[in-house]
Structure 1
Amino acid sequence: MDLGISLTNFVAQLSGKNRQKIFLVGFLVSVALWLSLVRYRQIRLHETVDPPLELSPIPTFRHVSVYRRAPDIIFENFLDSILVNLKLSYAGSYDRDIWPKKVFQTAKKVDKKYIEAVSSWSSLNPEHEHVLMNDITAKEFVEKAFLSAPQVVHLYNSFPNPVLKADLLRYLLLYLYGGVYADIDVYCRKPIAEWVPENLWKSNADVIVGVEIDEPYAMEESQKLWGWHRPYGFSQYTIVAKPFARPIRTAIVRVVAHAHHLAKMNNKANPTLLSQYSAEDIYEISGPGMWTDALVDSMNFKRKDISWAQFYNLKQPKRLPTDGGAVIALPIQYFGNGQKHSNAGDYGHPQACVTHMFTKSWKRNSWFL
């Protein structure tokens, strides 16, 4: 029997209703194939159009945030005193020489794509308590633990963007409890105890951070093409700290103070009246920009000469003192591996302690893989 004739007879015998179903399925399959092709072309385009990084002979080792040009020192000192009093109320309940064995992460829920990353922390660090917070438990923690700091509580509850809440929450958790904070899409690559040499763990350091971007020679036009607010900075998707560390306290103060500053810039009585924050606002109020400044300024409590020059092209962990403690800065390969800049190395770099997949990145024109 002729196959062509058989198919023709079969189609002719279909009722109109069945024929419509077949045509609909065919149409949906065609649309799905078209969308897949479009997505494939987008991925290929993203892989091939990374702009060249044009360098300048003059590096940018210092950056002055708009929020640090005329800060409200009186207000910041007031906020700082509240947090100091909170620390004093816990005197005797913690040992400032011990790094708490805690890992904090926050998420509305752990999607399937994050399960492997989340489980990596417990599997590689079975001696650490793994605390996973959701929106409800986070709100309860902030309102109860920082009852004596209403400015912090009100700001946290008023933030319109979940990124702002997540940023502030990590500083609050580390200030009160210490331990490790990691974003939900960060993989632990080696046991925490192996991240730095034993002599550094036993030093008076109270904060460990990693370089995230290290391109101080990048020209301004090139920075814009890559979507950078600054050409250098420390990561805040993974932070290690002891309770009540000075840089963490400075970060909390500045989140609140910078939000109030933004409110004034927008003719608002206070930040609870702000309905939106731009990507740059977030970066400088609660994100890596503010965090980098808080760290560098904490190191400058006496010397006044610390700039990004001390961290450029860092090869080994570097310890710098702060007021009552010290910061250990890690080369970019430790936390920032897998990025297409700053000689970050690939995911398999032997120094890799964590790997951030950047699957929750809220930035546009990002530089990430």
Structure 2
Amino acid sequence: MIRRRGILAVVLLIILIVVLRSSTSSAETNSKSEHAQQDSDQNWNPAHRIPPQGRAIGSKHQVTIDDLSDRPLRDRLRYQFPYDLEGKFPAYIWQTWKVTPASGHFSEELRPYEASWTELHPGFVHEVVTDSAAEHLIRYLYGAIPEVVEAYQSMPLPILKADFFRYLILLARGGIYSDIDTLALKSATEWLPDSMDRLSVGLIVGIEADVITEARPDWNKWYSRPIQFCQWTIQAKPGHPVLRDVVANITEETLRMKRKGILTGSRMDKTIVEFTGPAVWTDAVFRYFNDPQYFRFSGNNHPNVTYMDLAGLKEQKKIGDVAVLPITSFSPGVGQMGAEDAEHPLAFVLHGFDGTWKSD
């Protein structure tokens, strides 16, 4: 009798767990659907922005996966990773490397760099994602958007995947991405001035090059754009439209080259910088600044933001929901284009510029 009662108790416990899991899953699903329909591209400044384009997806009835299957890639990315401007920046730090710091094979030269991020961000989750773990993580996060997974897996060079991963992880989870050879000089909580409301900022980018301020005839041998944003350090809230755009752009270009049979390390019709690097990243940011779906324009034929608007930047500048940091912030000590040294108050991240890790 006692044994039967024990068996009965176990059965009842299992049933209770199943019911609770089912209820929680249903609640989460309903919550996600509601957030998607509300369009989380929040209107941070009505004076400079029209109603968000996300409402083009939504309707008064619940959107299903079947409804989305024929939608353009950007629409599906928006639905999968909604943008909530008024949320906080997630407390994540993402980096990639061949092995984790726990491995004895982790480079001793990189340990001070990696440790600096943990030391200055004690409340953050700091993840160094290995190449093999990245493959699994992208399949998990983007399983509902198979062409993104296909594009990532089809890339022929490790540096292409490393570039693509930073945009993918920030779009899906948000937080900070920074290359493994960067040294954190100040906590990300100090990157914005007190006068700038963090709840009105969804993306933080830093200037890498400003050849307008310091002209040089050979600038295009070193940089791809007169004003170029670095992509070795980015902070974002998940779902930001710039990340959505750059992920869609890279996915489409990858699959285009794959169909043409030129997606190899030696046959691509784009350089790495233009394909996944700072050129495509810079273009995506400026495209956002000049997108009438997000910003109101002062004139019919005038761009909203040009390179000249950011030339010689000496302090943080907010454009819509994007905070642009001066060249000193992520590129201190380069000795050109107006960059100050690493002791400057606006120096936040020091880049090691150790290109050997990329070829590995």
On whether the aligned pair clears a TM of 0.5, the verdict is yes
The answer for the alignment partner of 1:333 in structure 2 is 328
Q: 1:271 to 1:209 in 2, by over 3 A?
A: farther
Mapped pair 1:295 → 2:285: yes
Q: Secondary structure at the match of 1:200?
A: coil
The answer for the alignment partner of 1:242 in structure 2 is 237
Q: Give how far 1:204 is off.
A: 1.8
Mapped pair 1:172 → 2:168: yes
Q: Give how far 1:197 is off.
A: 1.7
The answer for the alignment partner of 1:233 in structure 2 is 228
Q: Secondary structure at the match of 1:294?
A: helix
Match of 2:120 among 104, 115, 124: 124
Mapped pair 1:105 → 2:105: no
The answer for the alignment partner of 2:49 in structure 1 is none
Residue-by-residue CA offset, 1:257-307 (whole Å, 9 max, x unaligned)? 23345x2xxxx6257843436796111111100000101111112333211
Q: Give how far 1:198 is off.
A: 3.3
Contact 2:211 2:219 in 1 (8 A): no
Residue identity in the other structure for 1:107: W
Q: Secondary structure at the match of 1:269?
A: helix
CA RMSD of aligned residues (A): 2.5
Q: Give how far 1:230 is off.
A: 3.0
Q: Secondary structure at the match of 2:72?
A: helix
Q: Give how far 1:362 is off.
A: 8.0
Mapped pair 1:190 → 2:186: yes
Residue-by-residue CA offset, 1:157-213 (whole Å, 9 max, x unaligned)? 111111110111001111111110000000000111111123424342100010000
Mapped pair 1:87 → 2:81: yes
Q: Secondary structure at the match of 1:198?
A: coil
The answer for the alignment partner of 1:212 in structure 2 is 208
The answer for the alignment partner of 2:276 in structure 1 is 286
Q: Distance in 2 between the 1:119 and 1:277 partners?
A: 38
Q: Distance in 1 between the 2:85 and 2:239 partners?
A: 11
Contact 2:254 2:263 in 1 (8 A): no
Q: 1:195 to 1:218 in 2, by over 3 A?
A: closer
Counterpart mapping for 1:141-160 below 5 A: 141-160=137-156
Residue identity in the other structure for 1:99: F
Mapped pair 1:276 → 2:237: no
Q: How many percent of aligned residue pairs carry the same amino acid?
A: 30
Q: 1:219 to 1:119 in 2, by over 3 A?
A: closer
Contact 1:155 1:272 in 2 (8 A): no
Contact 2:213 2:311 in 1 (8 A): no
Unaligned runs of 5+ in 1: 1-76, 365-369
Mapped pair 1:346 → 2:341: yes
Q: Distance in 2 between the 1:278 and 1:349 partners?
A: 41
Match of 2:72 among 47, 59, 78: 78
Q: Distance in 2 between the 1:275 and 1:163 partners?
A: 11
Alignment TM-score, normalising by the size of structure 2: 0.70
Q: Distance in 1 between the 2:269 and 2:134 partners?
A: 23
Q: Which has the larger radius of gyration?
A: 1
Unaligned runs of 5+ in 2: 1-70, 100-105, 298-302
Alignment TM-score, normalising by the size of structure 1: 0.69
How many residues are paired up? 274
Residue identity in the other structure for 1:86: Q
Q: Distance in 2 between the 1:285 and 1:184 partners?
A: 21
Larger CA deviation: 208-217 vs 126-135: 208-217
Q: Give how far 1:310 is off.
A: 1.3
The answer for the alignment partner of 2:136 in structure 1 is 140
Q: 1:360 to 1:82 in 2, by over 3 A?
A: same
The answer for the alignment partner of 1:308 in structure 2 is 307
